[in-house]
Structure 1
Amino acid sequence: MAQRPSVRSIADVVALIDGLGKITGRAQIIWFLVFGGLFLDAYSNAALSAGLGPMTTQMELTSTQVSILTATAPALAIIFNPLGGWLATRIGRVPPLLIAKVFAIAGGLLAALAGGFTVVWLGRVLVGVAYGIDFAVAMALLAEYTPAKLGGRLNLWQAVWYVATTSNLALALVFFNLDVGADIWRWSVGSAAVVAVALLLSQALMLKESPTWLASKGRLDESVANLDRIYGIKAVVGTPDAMTRTAADAPVIGFRHTGLLFKGEYLPRTVLASVISLGQSMQYFAVGWYLPLISLTIFGESFEKATVGSMVFNAFGIAGGLLSAYFGRRLGLRLSSAAGFAGVFVALVAMGLTFEKVPTAVAFLLPVLFILCHSAGPGANGKSIAALSYTSDVRALGTGVTGMIGSFGSVAGLYLFPQVKDSLGLADTFLTLSVVPLLGLITCLVIKWDPTKAASPDEVAGQDLDASAVPSVAAR
């Protein structure tokens, strides 16, 4: 009978998970359930956009009210991304995910039953809270659930995002054909609450706390138990090492420790993750603002044709999201981000120089190039590179802070660039926006850090502490 491995530290837990060749059984179900929260985040956003036209007509919304509704969720994520990271550091990874689903349910139902703008907005506030908390925590938990050699799989969240968006658009077509009339938006946002209920029940039943987080708190007994429950890894609790004892006695990482992310070896990692997150969200939400207009031009002005057109664009996003896992594994997250930014830069410059000067079929290919390069590169990597760049004690804080910075990009894309468009025109707006991927490209080339090409931060931290604890020969 083989001797069971002994768990004395976070590094031991990480090494056992990293030693797995693949994720199977219960672990795979749990892995996809966490991804389900990201599906819900995207689905909730798409639920509003799919029915925004009928809602605007039914409630006689002004353009300002429409802008407020559209930007509420990413604006609130600026606050609740780091708050979610703080909660995950303090009380664990799973409780905040469940809390987020409760907010999503309440927000979806409130918006669906609303009689006016204010109540719809309050519903979107609750959805924004859920979005901010869930995204920061889910990526940290996925990073801790996933063996290092499979780290590129985290990029699949981008494909999940586009699948969710397409699913809601398809459901909107179903509701349209059921002749629900102008209330189609109520069915759309209400369906997000149904998805949230299913996820809340499933996650509450199946999710197990991260063994890595438990070990970081000195709770080795629970950590070993969850290694067995999740992966079937049979281990025993050893005598806690110096790192574990130190971690158990250390104060909880909170907002006041944010400065840690901008010091020492974490500084370039935080800058890289933040720039990728900021750049990808700004370019996506700015150009995404105009994709429905392009869809109307190409596919016609009816609700059905415009919706099908949006689904076609999203199909390329799904393809790019799936490719992002491959490119992330082969090139690394840094270089695949650089390549994606380069492609987006070319697409935006071409869109700016050829706008209304080329046949419609050719004009269709440029947004397709934009979406493919965005989703296969920086669109996915902004979240993944942050989740993989920090030790477990600051991981959730790191994903929360970089997510917050990315949310600034979302708000800027939704508010700033429409104003630029009104001042300069659409063609010059595309040219102006091309500065964003260019800066992202330069940053990716200057900063060399790539978590997929380096050892796990937790294992390195454990090795460094062990080395410092060994007396030197000269001191003997």
Structure 2
Amino acid sequence: MQPNAIKIRGIDDVIAYLDSRQGIVGRAAVIWWLALGGLFLDAFSNSALSAGLGPMTRNLSLTAGQVALMTSMASWVAIAFNPIGGWMADRWGRIRPLVLAKLLAVIGAVLVVFAPSFEMILVGRFFVGAAYGIDFAIAMAVLAEFTPAKLKSRLNTWQGMWYAAVCTNLLLALLFYSWEVGDSIWRYSVAATAVFGVTILVLQLALLVESPIWLARKERLDDAARAMSRIYGQPFAAAPRNERLPVLNQARRGAANVLLIFRGVYLQRTILAATVQIGQSIQYFAVGWYLPLISATLFGKDFAQATIGALAFNVFGIFGGFLSPWIGRKLGLRRASAFGFAMVFVMLLTLGLFHGHMPLWLAVTVPSLFILFHSGGPGANGKSLSSLSFRSELRAGANGIIGALGSIGAALGLLVFPLFREKYGLEHTFLILSVVPLVASVICFVIRWDPTRTTINPDNEADAPQFKDDLHPTVESLRPAVGKMN
């Protein structure tokens, strides 16, 4: 061991060093932003068909049922692959599944671009859904494990990246429209996804480093020390074996591990994170994803005008998304979600009651505020809450389960909007959907847990007594003082 190396005795020393950092800089920043880059790709893949949905519907003569199935396909698949991704990350680490997700996203994009039939598009969207399900469960865990405790709310930055991806898609759609490619414009948007996917794949292969927190929770201290040396640019070394401290409350592998999130101290955290995740998924994918079609009802059927209108709406998402870390820091993630849901309810109620009778300026303002309140509040918080509420060997699995529930919400939103719109009309659809944020807001006000308003770090948290039968025997007196470094 080098004389000046920082000695790592266990998980608490890794966490203490991370939390002592004043910011996310150097190689850690590269890893952090590359994880966000993967989420950018997920958003780009999910919104690639959104901008060209109208032309695509005409190009392939799709029925409302086919549109509903195609747009929701990726979300249905993600329901299964969210927990699969979490299981992979908890068993094999964070990096390999992240890279696999990018490969699947590229395969899916290529299949859709060259699809000769509707059925082949569904196959391509299957791969996109698998990539989305795997990536989101793991990337959010990576962000949490590279973020100092005082910067927890910064995880919400992913929401700004989501809307940046959506707006990039819309801008590219306008570029492709200027090429006069006709109703096949949707193929160009999806082709851009493949280009982004290959870029992110190469960068992640070259630059990502395994999470030291995950390695330390797995009692792989030598690997954790090597990873920290690469990430932070100073020497770290694992303590001699007789000085190492056991990992407290190490959960067993398998289903029993995942089921812990539904017990004891974790139950209310799971309910809160799942409520926010499901609620925001339904309201976004039932309304926000279809903004180009909603925009067309306001600005006419001209593709360029409708796309510019949708772009104007989504710019508010960029503003709200990148503002959400500040909102989360001021209000806490729970209260930010509660107030955000309440305001989204008001916006949907307004659209449902007055959409057909509002002046144009108000018809533009209300959807814009919908996106602003969504992105600044609950839009980011479901994934952030689940990433910050569980210890490392539960984190990716919890993200997978809660992400799967969110994917159910997304699939329902994508499925019901075109069907409800055709059957009940646009205004009544808004009124029906307004129930979702209302119920979610009430639940967020009732549950009190907030990871940004507690001194508890789940990675060195002692579980409630009712967990004792599920955990390996530990001795609390062996716990080292956090921050005691050699």
Would the alpha carbon gap of residues 423 and 119 (structure 1) be closer, same or farther in structure 2, given more than 3 Å must change?
A: closer
Figure out how many residues of one structure are paired with residues of the other and give that number.
467
Question: Which residue in the other structure is 2:216 paired with?
Answer: 215
Query: How much is the aligned-residue C-alpha RMSD, in angstroms?
Result: 2.1
Match of 1:309 in 2: 309
C-alpha spacing 1:199/1:290, structure 2 compared with 1 (3 Å): closer
Q: Aligned to 1:467, which of 458, 476, 480?
A: 476
Who is 1:430 aligned against?
Answer: 430
1:118 CA displacement: 1.4
Check conservation: 2:160, 2:317, Cα contact below 8 A: yes
Gaps of 5+ in 1: 471-476
Determine whether 1:83 maps to 2:84. yes
CA contact (8 A) 2:109 2:191 kept: yes
SS in 2 for 1:355: helix
Q: Contact 1:218 / 1:245 at 8 angstroms: preserved in 2?
A: no
Give, in whole Å, the separation in 1 of the partners of 2:107 and 2:96.
17
**How far, CA to CA, are the matches of 1:357 and 1:462 in structure 2?**
55
State which drifts further: 291-300 or 118-127.
291-300
Contact 2:68–2:419 (CA<8 Å) still a contact in 1? no
Supply the AA of the counterpart residue of 1:243.
P
Note the C-alpha offset of 1:81. Answer: 0.4
Change (3 A) 1:349 1:2: farther
* Residue pair 2:166, 2:314 contacting (<8 A) in 1 also: yes
Q: Which residues in structure 2 correspond to 1:20-419 (within 5 Å)?
A: 20-238=21-239, 239=241, 241-244=244-247, 247=250, 251-252=252-253, 254-288=254-288, 290-419=290-419
**CA 1:125 to 1:87, structure 2 compared with 1: closer, same or farther past 3 Å?**
same
Deviates more, 1:439-448 or 1:414-423: 414-423
Pairwise CA distance, 1:414 = 1.8
Matched letter for residue 403 of structure 2: G
Moved more, 264-273 or 106-115: 106-115
- For the structure 1 residues 293 and 190, does the alpha-carbon distance in structure 2 shift closer, same or farther, using more than 3 Å as the test? closer
Flag the 1:354–1:54 CA change in 2: closer, same or farther, 3 A.
Answer: closer
Instruction: Give the deviation of 1:52 after TM superposition.
Output: 2.4
Cα distance in 2 between the residues matched to 1:181 and 1:355: 31
TM-superposed CA distance for 1:32, in Å, is: 0.6
Q: TM-score, normalised by structure 1?
A: 0.93
Contact 1:282 1:412 in 2 (8 A): yes
> Please, which moves more after superposition, 287-296 or 37-46?
287-296
Say whether the 8 Å CA contact 2:264–2:464 is kept in structure 1. no
Unaligned runs of 5+ in 2: 466-473, 480-486
Q: Give how far 1:3 is off.
A: 5.9
Native 8 Å contact 1:341 1:438 kept in 2? yes
Q: In structure 2, give the amino acid aligned to 1:100.
A: A
> 1:379-429 CA deviation, whole Å, 9 max, x = no partner?
010110100000001000001100001111111112234444445443333
Q: Secondary structure at the match of 1:344?
A: helix
Helix, strand or coil for the counterpart of 1:236? strand
Are the aligned partners of 1:284 and 1:413 in contact in 2 as well (CA < 8 Å)? yes
Task: Check whether the contact 2:64–2:418 (CA below 8 A) recurs between aligned residues.
Answer: no
What amino acid does structure 2 have at the position aligned with 1:372?
L
**1:18 equivalent in structure 2:** 19
Q: Give the Å deviation of 1:28.
A: 1.0
Where do 1:443-454 residues align within 5 Å? 443-454=443-454
Query: Does the C-alpha gap of structure 1 residues 2 and 324 become closer, same or farther in structure 2, counting only changes over 3 Å?
Result: farther
Question: Does the CA contact (< 8 Å) of 1:15 and 1:459 recur in 2?
Answer: no
Letter in 2 for 1:94: I
**Relative to structure 1, is the Cα distance of residues 290 and 100 closer, same or farther in structure 2, using a 3 angstrom cutoff?**
closer
Flag the 1:341–1:389 CA change in 2: closer, same or farther, 3 A.
Answer: same
**For the residues of structure 1 that align with 2:223 and 2:109, how far apart are their CA atoms?**
35
Answer yes or no: is the 8 Å Cα contact 2:8–2:237 preserved in 1.
yes
C-alpha distance in 1 between matches for 2:18 and 2:371: 34
Note closer, same or farther for the CA distance 1:338–1:96 as it changes in structure 2 (3 Å cut).
same
CA separation of 1:130 and 1:289: change in aligned 2, threshold 3 A: closer
On the 8 A contact 1:8/1:244 being kept in 2, the answer is no
Q: Percent identity?
A: 50
* TM-score, structure 2 normalization: 0.91
Rounded Cα–Cα distance in structure 2 between residues aligned with 1:405 and 1:144: 23
CA distance in 2, matches of 1:383, 1:244: 26
1:58 Cα deviation from its structure 2 partner: 2.6
Does structure 1 retain, via aligned residues, the 8 Å contact 2:50–2:292?
no
1:356 CA drift (Å): 1.4
